[in-house]
Amino acid sequence: MKNLYNFLAFIFVAVAITACRSARVAPQLTSVDVTKVINQMADRMVHDVTNPPLAARFFSYTCISGYEVLCANNPKLRKLDGVLNNYPVIKKPATKGFDTRLSAIFAMIATASKLQPSGAALQEFRQKLIDSCLNEGFSQSCIDSSAKFAQQISAQIIAYAKSDGYNKISNYKRYTLKGTPGSWDPTPPAYIAAVEPYFNTVRPLTLTSAAQFVPAPPARFSTDTSSEFHKYLLQCHSFDADSLSEEQRTVAAFWDCNPFAVQDNGHMQIGLKKISPGAHWMGITGIACKKAGVDFEKSVQVHTMVAIGLMDSFISCWNEKYKTNRIRPETAIHKYMDPRWHSFLQTPPFPEYLSGHSFISATAAAILTSFFGDKFSYTDDVEVSFGIKPRNFSSFNSAATEAGYSRLLGGIHFQDGITNGKKQGELVGAWVLGKFNGKK
């Protein structure tokens, strides 16, 4: 009888264990998985030397793809038709048996793979994700269904992206320099041609037009030593590379984010490989989501709104850059003041006004502040892999302000370009938030 009891007890325990295994909680993807996709995209951008406006375009459509997967399965989320310009009603695929979070990640990867020049390389990351999911307990059928659902969502977003006008830019006539006093010219060492002079023709995501927000005009160019322009020129001249303190150099280098930076090596120029300013702020977004402990869905939403804000900021900023076509400090100082002066940072290949860093940083900060508050402290370690030490910030706005100031320290922007860039960025940030909150 004792042996019978022992046998029955053994059977009971075995059945209980089996039941626990079959009833265990399904594996869940987290906010970290969203960050991994963004990081993979940023790596491809560095490899491809993707310019800043285009990088923002890639991030926005990729995040929109992930967000749309969530919207298709959660009626409480704010749908994007009515928020984004000319946005179609996204059709929900009939696929069943998928995991929503996994499908959102697959959709992001699918879209990035199509948009980015070296996007095919993301397939290796995708396969590693699949292997990890299998190890975590996802069934192959669930993975397959998730991928199928994602692909159908991604295809609709890709079609929307193709209609934004960017693909037409290659048909426009080559940009020609104005050659007038005070106008922009390519700068050393590479003398790269104007980058994305027609980006203002791309359809904005939320703005009514690239010129919706009109900034104050820049100080009028003048060689008169009593002019406002000369005052700004003198200020830039005071930040010669050799005169900066160690802290000033640290700040300037931290926010450099110049994908076009090169290093002379004899008769060769070698690209230094850096992330774009938009990629930096997408990285900050991931840091904030992780510290705040937000769930997967909230992380996708925050990343999507920041990415949308970045794209519209670049469209608006680039409209002003090529409208004013303002000379860079380096060119003006060399020509009218001091040919031996040199800036700490290399000058990016596009006109000065407005400061892109000031503009897009203010937009990103406004959106992030709306989610996490104006006293959200964090450590920015986005560029550790590039040899840049982490920096601590008390808020997103303080980081945005420092990003703008770094351009003065670097010798690549005038103060009015920085100040007014920040103002414009705040306006775009508020507009994007208003669109998502249902305001016209």
Q: Which residues contact 50 (CB under 8 A, 6 or more apart)?
A: 44, 58, 116, 117, 259, 276
Per-residue pLDDT at 181 exceeds 80 = yes
Whether the CB-CB separation of 180 and 326 falls below 8 Å is answered with no
pLDDT digits (tens, 9 = 90+) for 61-94: 999 999 999 999 999 999 999 999 999 999 999 9
Q: Which of 243, 288, 229, 360 is nearest to 38 (CA)?
A: 288
pLDDT at 271: 67
> Is residue 265 very low, low, confident or very high in pLDDT (cuts 50, 70, 90)?
low
pLDDT at 425 over 90: yes
Q: Encode pLDDT of 345-389 as tens digits.
A: 999 999 999 999 999 999 999 999 999 999 999 999 999 999 999
Q: Phi and psi dihedrals of 262, rounded to 5?
A: -130, 160
Tokens of 261: 């930076």
**In whole angstroms, what is the distance from residue 80 CA to residue 302 CA?**
14
- Per-residue pLDDT at 2 exceeds 90: no
Grade residue 22 by pLDDT with cuts at 50, 70 and 90. Answer: very low
Query: Residue 26 above 70 pLDDT?
Result: no
Instruction: Report which of residues 25 and 151 the model is more confident about.
Output: 151
Percent pLDDT > 90 in the chain is 89
- Phi and psi at residue 179, to the nearest 5°: 70, 25
**Can you read off the two tokens belonging to residue 161?**
């992206």
Report the range of poorest mean pLDDT among 169-173, 177-181, 267-271.
267-271
Phi-psi sector, 85: left (phi>0), alpha (psi -120 to 50), beta: beta
The CATH class for the domain spanning 184-436 reads mainly alpha
Q: Which sign, positive or negative, has the C-alpha torsion 240, 277, 247, 397?
A: positive
Q: What mean pLDDT comes out for the span 15-38?
A: 68
Choice between 17 and 71, residue whose per-residue pLDDT is larger:
71
Mean pLDDT over each residue of the chain, to the nearest integer: 93
pLDDT band at 27 (very low <50, low <70, confident <90, very high): confident
pTM for the full predicted model: 0.93
- CATH 1.10.606.20 residue ranges for the chain: 184-436
What single letter denotes the amino acid at residue 375? K
| Pick from 25-39, 135-149, 191-205, 341-355: least confident | 25-39
CB 287, CB 38: distance < 8 Å: no
Average of pLDDT values for 399-422? Answer: 99
379-390: string of b/e by CB count within 10 Å (b at 16+)? ebebbeeeebee
